[in-house]
Amino acid sequence: MAQQVGHEQKSPEEKQLEIKKREEREEKERKEKQEYEEHLQRLRNLIKEDQKTNMEKAKVEIDGIRAMQTVSLREAQIKPLTTCGERQIEGSNGEEIRLKIIHETKKQLHTLKADATVDMFRKILIQNFGIKNPKAFISTVGEIDFSVPSTTLKSIGVSDMDTIYVHKL
């Protein structure tokens, strides 16, 4: 019995060795956790930097489009910049509205019926951009009000080939 009791108890050197190993393991875990947190912070900073750069590019592009729209409104006849534009103008009729939708760095062209409603437009934003609570702007009209879903896009001033800028709320 004396041997079993002695076997269960550890010598002070073994206890110190165990404590030292545990401390080393805990220190190693702390270092790994700190390195991981630093890595995550670097990734977050890179993402923020990319978003900032994308927003700056979008602002330049928005200003360029607004400047082009201002000039084109003063001209009596709007001429397309490419030959493809001529075909688009010939093919367009009063029964549809083509909209260029821009969200951050994503751009899409959508064709809707002339009697399309704000709710139909919101459904496009949900399906194609994943935006459930959108905030949309048109340089000629201003902000699109989504509170009345039955409002037609034409009635609020949206016309063919308008550019709509969309953001999440």
Task: Specify the pLDDT at position 59.
Answer: 63
Q: What domain range is 133 assigned to? A: 93-168
Task: Specify the pLDDT at position 163.
Answer: 87
Q: Is 98 domain-assigned?
A: yes
Reading the chain (169 residues) residue by residue, the pLDDT tens digits are 444 554 567 788 999 999 999 999 999 999 999 999 999 999 899 888 888 877 766 665 555 565 444 444 444 455 555 544 444 444 455 688 888 888 887 888 889 998 999 999 999 999 988 888 888 888 777 888 888 889 998 888 888 888 888 888 7
Sign for the CA dihedral angle at 60, 68, 66, 71 comes to positive
Helices vs strands, H then E, count in the chain? 4, 5
Beta pairing, strands 96-103 & 162-168: parallel
Both 100 and 56 in one domain: the answer is: no
Task: Specify the pLDDT at position 23.
Answer: 96
Token reading at 70:
């201002």
Both 105 and 157 in one domain: the answer is: yes
140 sits in which H/E element: none
Q: Is 73 domain-assigned?
A: no
Both 53 and 110 in one domain: the answer is: no
Task: Specify the pLDDT at position 139.
Answer: 78
Task: Specify the pLDDT at position 90.
Answer: 41
Both 58 and 104 in one domain: the answer is: no
Cα–Cα dist 86/78, whole Å: 11
Both 140 and 98 in one domain: the answer is: yes
Task: Specify the pLDDT at position 17.
Answer: 93
Q: Is 76 domain-assigned?
A: no
Both 99 and 47 in one domain: the answer is: no
pTM of the model: 0.45
Token reading at 141:
């009209």
Both 63 and 99 in one domain: the answer is: no
Tell me the three state secondary structure of residue 137.
Answer: strand
Q: Please state the domain count of the chain.
A: 2
Phi, psi angle pair for 117, to nearest 5°:
-100, 170
Task: Specify the pLDDT at position 162.
Answer: 85
